[in-house]
Amino acid sequence: MNATIDLDVREGVDRETVETVQNMGSYKYGWDTEIEMDYAPKGLNEDIVRLISQKNDEPEWMLDWRLEAFRRWQTMTEPRWAMLNYPVIDYQDQYYYARPKSMEIKPRSLDEVDPKLLATYEKLGIPLKEQMILAGVEGAEDAPAEGRRVAVDAVFDSVSVGTTFKDELAKAGVIFCSISEAIREHPDLVKKYLGSVVPQSDNFFATLNSAVFSDGSFVYVPKGVKCPMELSTYFRINAENTGQFERTLIIADQGSYVSYLEGCTAPKRDTNQLHAAVVEIVILQDAEVKYSTVQNWFPGDENGKGGIYNFVTKRADCREARAKVMWTQVETGSAITWKYPSCILRGDESQGEFYSIAIANNWQQADTGTKMIHLGKNTRSRIVSKGISAGHAQNTYRGLVSMHPRATNSRNYTQCDSLLIGDKCGAHTVPYIEVKNTSSRVEHEATTSKVDDDQLFYCRSRGMDEEEAVALVVNGFCREVLQALPMEFAMEAQSLVAISLEGSVG
């Protein structure tokens, strides 16, 4: 950490945080892989939708579903309500499908995958060989074998390159494969759940995704099964002028558990690239899903040139009693982030949690947050959001907490803190709070001093002064979030731990 810092850091702001945030301005994953690609013709029309469906060997019903979405999309207008400022996107000036030539005939195993592709993931530190130890993670070799195993689905531009540990997961009954494979191999599950959380017509970007998604991951964890290892998908955009539209569908059947991790990077390019993903999670009775993301798309250079436009719809449906979901996100990349991982707390006593650290540097703009929709009785939700803005960046927390009349005795606690580094950036908070019953309690706070009183008391009773105690609790929170992240992200996590929210402005 020896970046030169040429701004006055005001009192109370942790210097190490400033250095860490500034260092994050230099992007490590900006190289590209030279590889021969097949592209669909540029632009978007029904023929492109048909082509994507055909490339994935899809059944007729899937094509119909896509076409229905496409027709709907053509009637919709792009949302502009977010605090994001970007030029008009020409949806016809993009490629909607790009596949490495070597993937034309689907490799039967990872051994058959083009070494160049494997090398790409190796360089990113993503283990695509099952025996491989996670790259760059100190002490990983000493970790118990169980603890360090992560099954990976690697998505390269429009296609899944391969999925590891499939056989072992299958023994436990867990289905983990690309969504294109799931559509072919498990049509009943896909038909039943696809679009059941994020319908085709949900919003402009989700509808676009419904029409043109090319690949993504599919997870089904059967009744009562605790998934024997963490599952992860790594998304890499490589091709130029190409949008990535992936779709993830996770189903946790009754009493099951799965922890799912997602990472993403892209090369440095001068032009903006579009990424519009949809993640749907269905959680049935007593099941639990943890979904963690380190979003590290190319954020553009220090002058705001290039970078990914990231428009993502992520939603979990706690469909039955006592279902539980936890979203953890670390947002450091993308030129534009538009993302609101949400929880529908439909089942009685279901729980949703959202932990987010969003760091915007240089000219990045992030508009992100969550929606907690309480429909069931005795439902609980918790939102903790930390936003850091530096350079000329704009960072907005936008969230909804909704307590429906039926959601009696429910609770929400929300805490959002923002930190500005420098006087050219902005930090904004746009919470919506809708309480429609009396027995529920909703609390929204946005000050660092309002950390958990019990934790504070604990720290103070051990002789710390209030300020130290608050700092410890806040930093402790960051670490807690980061520790929940996959081993693949340990490198990023280790540098992020240095971040503190001291000096937050609320």
Partner 1 sequence: MADTAIRTKDQTPTIEGMAEGMAKPAGALDARLAALNLPQQGGFSARARQDALGRLRAMGLPGPRDEYWRYTDPRGFNAPVPQALPIPHADETPLFDGLDKLTLVFVDGAFDEAASDDLALDGVEIATLAQADTVGSWAADLYGVLESAGQTPVKRPFAALNTAAARDGVLIRVTRTPSRPIHVVHRRGATDADAMWHHVIRVEQGAELTLLETGMSGARSNGVIEVDVARGGKFHHVASKRAVDPKVGISHVFARIASQAQFKSFTLSVNGTVMRNEAVIDIAGDDAVAHIAAAVLGDGEQAPFHHDDTVFITHGAERCESRQVFKKVLKNGATGVFQGKILVKPGAQKTDGYQISQALLLDERSQFLAKPELEIYADDVKCSHGSTTGAIDDEALFYLRSRGVPRERAIVFLVLSFLADALAEVEDEGLRDRIYERLDVWLTLNAVH
Q: Counting contacts by CB under 8 A, is residue 92 touching partner 1?
A: no
Q: Which is nearer to partner 1, 45 or 447 (CB)?
A: 447
Q: Counting contacts by CB under 8 A, is residue 121 touching partner 1?
A: no
State the helix-helix crossing angle for 60-74 and 204-212, rounded to 10 degrees: 150
Q: State in angstroms the smallest separation of the CB of 418 from partner 1.
A: 7
Could you say which of 60, 423, 454, 465 contacts partner 1 (CB under 8 A)? 423
Sign of CA dihedral 58, 60, 66, 67: positive
Could you say which of 43, 187, 255, 506 contacts partner 1 (CB under 8 A)? 506
DSSP string, 313-348: EEEEEE-STT-EEEEEEEE---SEEEE--EEEE-ST
Could you say which of 430, 464, 484, 497 contacts partner 1 (CB under 8 A)? 430
How far apart CA 169 and CA 332 sit, in angstroms, is 31
Q: Counting contacts by CB under 8 A, is residue 410 touching partner 1?
A: no
Q: In this structure, which amino acid lies at residue 20?
A: T
User: Site residues for partner 1, window 51-80 (CB under 8 A)?
Assistant: 77, 79-80
Could you say which of 31, 39, 86, 91 contacts partner 1 (CB under 8 A)? 86
Q: Counting contacts by CB under 8 A, is residue 10 touching partner 1?
A: yes
Q: Which is nearer to partner 1, 287 or 419 (CB)?
A: 419
Q: Counting contacts by CB under 8 A, is residue 426 touching partner 1?
A: yes
Could you say which of 51, 63, 67, 83 contacts partner 1 (CB under 8 A)? 83
Q: Which is nearer to partner 1, 57 or 434 (CB)?
A: 434
Q: Counting contacts by CB under 8 A, is residue 437 touching partner 1?
A: yes
DSSP string, 378-399: T-EEEEEEEEEEETT-EEEEEE
The CA-based angle 124-261-148, given to 5 degrees, is 75
Check if the beta carbon of residue 329 is closer than 8 Å to that of residue 356: yes
How far apart CA 455 and CA 156 sit, in angstroms, is 44
User: Site residues for partner 1, window 243-302 (CB under 8 A)?
Assistant: 300
Give which of 330, 393, 396 is closest to 360, Cα–Cα.
Answer: 393
Q: State in angstroms the smallest separation of the CB of 353 from partner 1.
A: 20
Q: State in angstroms the smallest separation of the CB of 382 from partner 1.
A: 15
The CA-based angle 171-176-179, given to 5 degrees, is 145
Q: Counting contacts by CB under 8 A, is residue 483 touching partner 1?
A: no
What are the residues facing 365 on neighbouring strands? 336, 394
Q: Which is nearer to partner 1, 5 or 133 (CB)?
A: 5
* 491 phi and psi angles, rounded to 5 deg: -60, -50
Determine how many CB atoms are found less than 10 A away from the CB of residue 250: 24
Give which of 155, 177, 181 is closest to 166, Cα–Cα.
Answer: 177
DSSP string, 411-467: EEEEEEEEEEESSS-EEEEEEEEEE--SS-EEEEE--TT---HHHHHHHHHTT--HH
Q: Counting contacts by CB under 8 A, is residue 196 touching partner 1?
A: no
Q: State in angstroms the smallest separation of the CB of 430 from partner 1.
A: 5
Q: Which one of the spans 154-162, 213-221, 227-235, 426-434 is the region binding partner 1 (CB under 8 A)?
A: 426-434
Could you say which of 178, 242, 244, 440 contacts partner 1 (CB under 8 A)? 440
Tokens 């695509």: give the residue: 128
Q: Counting contacts by CB under 8 A, is residue 420 touching partner 1?
A: yes
Q: State in angstroms the smallest separation of the CB of 349 from partner 1.
A: 19
Q: State in angstroms the smallest separation of the CB of 83 from partner 1.
A: 6
How far apart CA 185 and CA 326 sit, in angstroms, is 29
What are the residues facing 418 on neighbouring strands? 387
How far apart CA 339 and CA 310 sit, in angstroms, is 8
Give which of 266, 235, 245, 300 is closest to 87, Cα–Cα.
Answer: 300
Could you say which of 432, 466, 468, 483 contacts partner 1 (CB under 8 A)? 432
Query: And the tokens for 214?
Result: 């090319």
* 326 phi and psi angles, rounded to 5 deg: -135, 120
Q: Which is nearer to partner 1, 26 or 438 (CB)?
A: 438
Q: State in angstroms the smallest separation of the CB of 238 from partner 1.
A: 23
Could you say which of 107, 173, 255, 431 contacts partner 1 (CB under 8 A)? 431
Q: Counting contacts by CB under 8 A, is residue 15 touching partner 1?
A: no
How far apart CA 53 and CA 69 sit, in angstroms, is 13
Q: State in angstroms the smallest separation of the CB of 79 from partner 1.
A: 6
Q: Which is nearer to partner 1, 202 or 348 (CB)?
A: 202
Binding mask 343-382 for partner 1 (x = CB under 8 A): --------------------x-x-----x-----------
Sign of CA dihedral 31, 35, 37, 42: positive
Could you say which of 3, 132, 143, 446 contacts partner 1 (CB under 8 A)? 446
Q: Which is nearer to partner 1, 19 or 202 (CB)?
A: 202
* 192 phi and psi angles, rounded to 5 deg: -70, -40
Q: State in angstroms the smallest separation of the CB of 425 from partner 1.
A: 7
Which positions touch partner 1 (CB under 8 A)?
A: 10, 77, 79-83, 85-87, 202-203, 206, 300, 303-304, 313, 335, 338, 340, 363, 365, 371, 392, 398, 400, 403, 405, 408, 418, 420-447, 450, 505-506
